[in-house]
Chain A
Amino acid sequence: MKAAVVVFPGSNCDTDCFHALFDVMKMPVKFVWHKEGTLPDVDLVVLPGGFSYGDYLRTGAIARFSPVMEAVRQHAESGRAVIGICNGFQILLEAGFLPGAMLRNKTLSFICTHVWLRTENNATIFTGKLNPKELLRIPIAHGEGNYYCDDKTFKRLEDSNQIVFRYASESGETTDEFNPNGSRDNIAGIINAKGNVLGMMPHPERASESMLDSVDGRKIWESLVG
């Protein structure tokens, strides 16, 4: 499996993603500057976290018009994998790859902490190595991760198993108490209907080595490698 990590002005998790895939997973990885109109021949595109365009206007609102996004769209349409992490997820929402939108965290504060996630769908290309309901300990770091969608969209997401991760307690309860940002129904990650585009607020690349306190995020990369 080969990967490309897209770099927008203001991305700041691009080298972390590169490191997790290249050094930890031993994958060939290329950086792709957002001005590029084409992608190298890769199986996986990573839209990394950060503050693309300073989060001006709305998170991800300007990055979605970067020239590379047309190539990312074609990559996704061909059925190959795209993962958007944190700001990458916000870009996927603004670009319409995934339904819904992000609001300010209910606390209005930037939250940087480890959270527990419950795997809601382990039958995706991103989660195949996870057990049903497997709990992952992965950090979040965002000010706008309060996932919103209307009732109709929410029903569609639920009915077609597109909710992949929910914020949970260490024992797997998905109550309000364990919802850090106010996301609808504790949603932390969703996938498109076709099953090849995943958006998630938590950072698996920051939880891929034991020296980083958790290796749970690595299972997402391992699932992709197959």
Chain B
Amino acid sequence: MYKATVNVTLKKSVLDPQGKTVLHALETLGFQGVKDVRVGKYFELAIDEEKREKAEEQVRAMCDKLLINPVIEDYSFKLNEA
């Protein structure tokens, strides 16, 4: 068993209206040090595979097919033995 944690972010070239709004809210609250905010998504997947390579392959296939939209999003993931 493996546990995969997948982080999804909007591509750098894509404006993030949600991130901009959170940035303004933080500034309003007095957090002057914050210069940019990007809001993303996070998945935890429990993968029933014996081999690490197989599990990686599975996670990549799931991301490419459903979990992310490559037109607007990038992703990275970590795999830990569960």
Question: For window 50-82 of chain B, which residues contact chain A by CB distance below 8 Å?
Answer: 66-67, 69, 71-72
Question: A73: CB under 8 A from chain B?
Answer: no
Asked if residues B69 and A58 are in contact (CB atoms below 8 Å), the reply is: yes
Q: Nearest residue in A to B71 (C-beta to C-beta)?
A: A101
Bitwise interface map of A from 121 to 161 toward B, beta carbon under 8 Å scored 1, else 0:
00000000000000000000000001011100000000000
> Is there an interface contact between B17 and A105, defined as CB atoms closer than 8 Å?
yes
Residue from B14, B17, B67, B72 in contact with A106 in the complex, judged by beta carbons closer than 8 Å: B17
Q: How far is the CA of A116 from the CA of B71 in the complex (A)?
A: 28
- Name the one of A61, A101, A150 contacting B13, with C-beta atoms under 8 angstroms: A150
Tell me the number of A-to-B contacts counted with CB atoms below 8 Å: 37
Residue of B18, B66, B67, B72 near A148 (CB, 8 A) is B72
Residues in chain A near residue B17, CB distance under 8 A = 103-108, 146, 182
Q: Do A108 and B69 touch across chains, with their CB atoms under 8 A apart? A: no
| Most chain A beta carbons < 10 A, residue from B13, B15, B18 | B15
Assess whether B69 is in contact with A101, with CB atoms less than 8 Å apart. yes
Contact A100 B71 (CB under 8 A): yes
> Quick one: given A103-B14, A103-B17, A104-B17, are A148 and B71 in contact (CB under 8 Å)?
yes
Q: Given B10, B13, B18, B69, which contacts A94 in the complex, CB threshold below 8 Å? A: B69
A177–B47 alpha-carbon span in the complex (Å): 48
Nearest-Cβ distance from residue B16 to partner chain A, whole angstroms: 8
Asked whether, in the complex, the Cβ of B72 is within 8 Å of the Cβ of A101, the reply is: yes
Q: Which residues of A contact B14 (CB under 8 A)?
A: 103, 148
| Interface size range of chain A in the complex | 20 to 34
Contact of B66 among A61, A99, A149, A182 (CB under 8 A): A61
Q: Is A212 an interface residue (CB 8 A)?
A: no
A108 to B22 alpha-carbon distance, docked (Å): 11
Task: Report the 3 A-B pairs with minimum CB-CB distance, sorted nearest first.
Answer: A101-B71, A101-B72, A106-B17
When distances are taken between beta carbons in the complex, the residues of chain A under 8 Å from B72 are 101, 103, 148
In the assembled complex, the Cα of A215 lies from the Cα of B21 at a distance in Å of 37
Q: In the docked arrangement, what's the CA distance between A100 and B72, Å?
A: 8
**Min CB gap A185→B, angstroms:** 14
Instruction: Pull 21 A–B residue pairs with CB atoms less than 8 Å apart, ordered by A.
Output: A57-B66, A57-B67, A58-B69, A62-B66, A65-B66, A93-B71, A94-B69, A99-B71, A101-B69, A101-B71, A103-B10, A103-B14, A103-B15, A103-B17, A103-B72, A104-B17, A107-B17, A148-B14, A148-B71, A148-B72, A182-B15
Within 8 A of A (CB), among B3-47: 10, 13-15, 17-18, 21
Contact B21–A108 (Cβ < 8 Å): yes
- A99-B71, A103-B72 known; 4 new pairs, CB 8 Å cut-off, are A58-B69, A103-B14, A103-B17, A148-B14
CA distance A148 to B21 in the complex (A): 19
A30 to B68, CA, bound (A): 33
